[in-house]
């Protein structure tokens, strides 16, 4: 009788470089003990070992990171941290003039990202390495808060090393609202929830022409009475059953969530009962919202950068859930 195992051992040994004893043992287990069809056994072993190989390859770029316990993931940074080391990609660095108490200076602004988060950074001196396009190992940086979001500062005592290898980029993270109600703010996250209330100050508003603050009865709280600039926005309370947050839609997103006709009617100020119309358009409806959570004098606010209505096939999700319950 033909031995079905030996030729496969030869093959896979050549292809994957796994030693013959391991292959033989695993194939025997699958084909002889578990009566798995030969092709299926072959497929599952290739899959298992190529996953190992892939995992090793994937772990490689961060290999050094793992060995250096002082490296912090960006999501773990908190305002007040100092002497921190981070390994991150530099996103959209640019020079900027800023005015401080000691006069104007030029800094470099941008974002740092790793696979866990994206955060703002400011470099207080000219470091061309930031523009190299390579990932950087930044040592001795410190963290402060900017609108409640952690922000990395690169100063005179910090050092930058170009990192050979790539740091996986940040993919917008899906969060529960409970998660966002704790801790500092967050940059570029996504939530899904239902609109449960519309706050006063939604719809057509007037902003102070000097500072952009919202004016009450034609008055800015800092600059007094002046002709305001009209703007449209919505402050909605979003609730996902685990937590709730105030979510602000700017003019563009207001148009996106309301549709053009309602938005124009609001803008022209011709609607009777604009607040009721806003509620009728939004309350009870689910939204997937991308944006940033800032923390300021009014508590935590989700500033939306994108809003869509979810459209997954819930019938299919329900079926999957039922199968998993059996």
Give contact residues for other proteins (rule: CB under 8 A).
177-178, 181, 194, 196-197, 237, 239, 241-244, 252-253, 255-261, 263-264, 276, 279-280, 283-286, 298-299, 307-311, 313-319, 321-322, 325
CB of 243 to other proteins, least distance (A): 6
Task: Output 35 or 316, the one with its CB closest to other proteins.
Answer: 316
Task: Output 29 or 178, the one with its CB closest to other proteins.
Answer: 178
Task: Output 125 or 280, the one with its CB closest to other proteins.
Answer: 280
C-alpha span between 131 and 82 (Å, rounded): 24
Distance set, CA 285 to CA 197, 203, 247, 258, 325 (Å): 11, 18, 14, 12, 28
CB of 299 to other proteins, least distance (A): 5
Q: Could you tell me if 85 and 71 are in contact, meaning their C-beta atoms sit under 8 angstroms apart?
A: yes
Task: Output 109 or 242, the one with its CB closest to other proteins.
Answer: 242
C-alpha span between 98 and 87 (Å, rounded): 26
Give the chain's count of helices (H) and strands (E): 9, 16
CB of 198 to other proteins, least distance (A): 8
Task: Output 222 or 260, the one with its CB closest to other proteins.
Answer: 260
CB of 48 to other proteins, least distance (A): 31
CB of 307 to other proteins, least distance (A): 8
Q: Could you tell me if 93 and 131 are in contact, meaning their C-beta atoms sit under 8 angstroms apart?
A: yes
CB-based burial label for 37 (10 Å; 0-12, 13-18, 19+): exposed
């Amino acid at each position: 009788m033909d031995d079905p195992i030996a030729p496969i051992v030869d093959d896979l040994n050549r292809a994957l470089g796994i030693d013959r004893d391991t292959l033989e043992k695993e194939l025997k287990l699958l084909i002889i003990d578990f009566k798995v069809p030969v092709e299926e056994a072959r497929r599952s072993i290739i899959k298992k070992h190529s996953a190992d190989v892939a995992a090793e390859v994937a772990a490689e770029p961060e290999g050094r990171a793992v060995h250096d316990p002082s490296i912090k993931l960006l999501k773990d940074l908190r305002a007040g941290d100092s002497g921190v080391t981070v390994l991150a990609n530099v996103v959209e660095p640019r020079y900027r003039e800023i005015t401080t108490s000691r006069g104007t200076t030029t800094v470099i602004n941008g974002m740092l990202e790793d696979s866990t988060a994206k955060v703002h950074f400011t470099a207080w001196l000219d470091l061309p390495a930031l523009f190299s396009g390579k990932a950087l190992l930044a040592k001795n940086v410190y963290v402060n808060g900017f609108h409640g979001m952690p922000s990395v500062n690169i100063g005179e005592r910090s050092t930058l090393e170009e990192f050979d290898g790539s740091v996986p980029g940040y993919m917008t993270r899906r969060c529960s609202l409970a998660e966002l109600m704790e801790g500092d703010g967050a940059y570029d996250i996504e939530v899904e929830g239902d609109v449960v209330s519309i706050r006063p100050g939604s719809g057509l508003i007037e902003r102070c022409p000097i500072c952009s603050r919202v004016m009450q009865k034609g008055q800015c709280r800092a600059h007094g009475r002046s002709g305001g600039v009209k703007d449209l926005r919505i402050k909605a309370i979003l609730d996902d059953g685990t937590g709730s947050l105030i979510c602000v839609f700017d003019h563009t997103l207001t148009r996106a969530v309301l549709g053009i006709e309602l938005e124009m009617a609001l803008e022209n100020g011709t609607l009777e009962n604009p607040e009721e119309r806003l509620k009728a358009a939004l309350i009870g409806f689910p939204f997937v919202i991308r944006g940033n959570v800032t923390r300021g004098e009014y508590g935590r606010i989700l500033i939306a950068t994108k809003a869509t209505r979810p459209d997954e096939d819930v019938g299919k999700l329900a079926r999957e859930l039922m199968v998993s319950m059996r």
